[in-house]
Amino acid sequence: MKHLFISDVHLGAFKPHVNEEIEDDLCRLIDHCKEEKIHIHILGDLFDYWMEYPNSQPSVGKKALSILSSYNRVEPITYITGNHDNWTFGYFKELGFNVEEDFRNLTIEGKNFFLHHGDGMSEKRFELPRPFFHRVLRNRFFIKLYQFIFPPKLGLRIMKWFSDFNRKRSFEDPDPLNRWAEGMLMNHPVDVVICGHDHIPRMETFSFGTYINLGTFFKHRTVALYTNSQCKLVTWDGTAKAFKPFIDDKTAKE
C-alpha cells in the first residue's frame, strides 16, 4: 500500500483567500489519495489554532474536515497532534481519525518508521523533550483553568494570537532536529524518521537510515510519499493533481 505523510498545513493562519487556496489544494490531495488508495498520515499542525471547548469546536477547515472524515470511513487517518492543534478532546476521534498525542511507530514492508511532529515528546528515552511552555499548554489542569476563565470566542481569539506569534518566530535552524534524527537512527531500531515542525523541507540519507522533514504544506506543498518500496520527499501540484520531485535548493524556509 502507498503511504503519504503531511504536516504543517496551518489552516486558518492566513488571509481568507490564502486559506482557501491552501484548503482547496489539500482537498484535491485527499481526493487523490482516496482514488489512488494512498494511506494518509498527518504529523501535526493541520490547523492554526485548534482548541476544543466542551460542545464547541473551531470553525476552521470545515471543507477539509468533511473530506478527511469521508476518507476515514475507508481507512482511518493517523493524526499525530502538533504544538498548534493539540487541544483536541474527542472531536477528531468522532470524525474517525486515529489520534496520537506523542509519536507513532509504523512498519511498512519490513521498514520501521518513527513518526512525530518535531516539537518534542514525553518519553525521555527519545531525548527530545518538549519546551516547558508547550508542556504547560498541554497540561489538563491549565486547560481546565483557561477554559473556566475565558469563554470559547475570547479563549480561541487569545490562543489564535499566540499561535500566530509562535508560528512567525524563526525556525531557520535545522540543526537541532537534524542532530536528533541522526542520533535516533543510530541508537534505536528505526529505519526512517519523519517529522515537520521547523518548516524546512529536507531529506537526509545515512548508511543507517533516512530522515525526512516534511517542511510546510502551506508554503512548499511538500509531502513524503512511500511507493514502490521507496520513501521520497515530493511536491503536490494541486492544479495538475500530481506529485512532482522536490528540488532542495538549501534555501527553503518559512
- Residue 119 phi/psi, 5-degree rounding, is -90, 0
Among 218, 223, 219, 226, residue whose Cα is nearest residue 234: 223
Looking at residue 15, what is its pLDDT? 92
91 and 52 Cβ atoms separated by less than 8 Å: yes
Looking at residue 1, what is its pLDDT? 83
Among 172, 167, 169, residue whose Cα is nearest residue 250: 172
Could you tell me the strand order of the sheet in which 38-42 lies? 98-100, 78-80, 38-42, 2-6, 222-227, 230-237, 242-245
SS (H, E, C) 2-19: EEEEECCCCECCCCHHHH
10-residue mean pLDDT series, the chain (254 residues): 96 94 97 96 94 90 96 96 92 96 96 97 94 90 94 89 69 86 96 96 95 97 96 96 85 44
Burial class (CB in 10 A: 0-12, 13-18, 19+), 207: exposed
pTM, two decimals, is 0.94
Helix (H) or strand (E) holding 192: strand 192-195
Residue type, 121: M
- Residue 207 phi/psi, 5-degree rounding, is -65, -20
| 224/220 Cα distance (integer angstroms) | 12
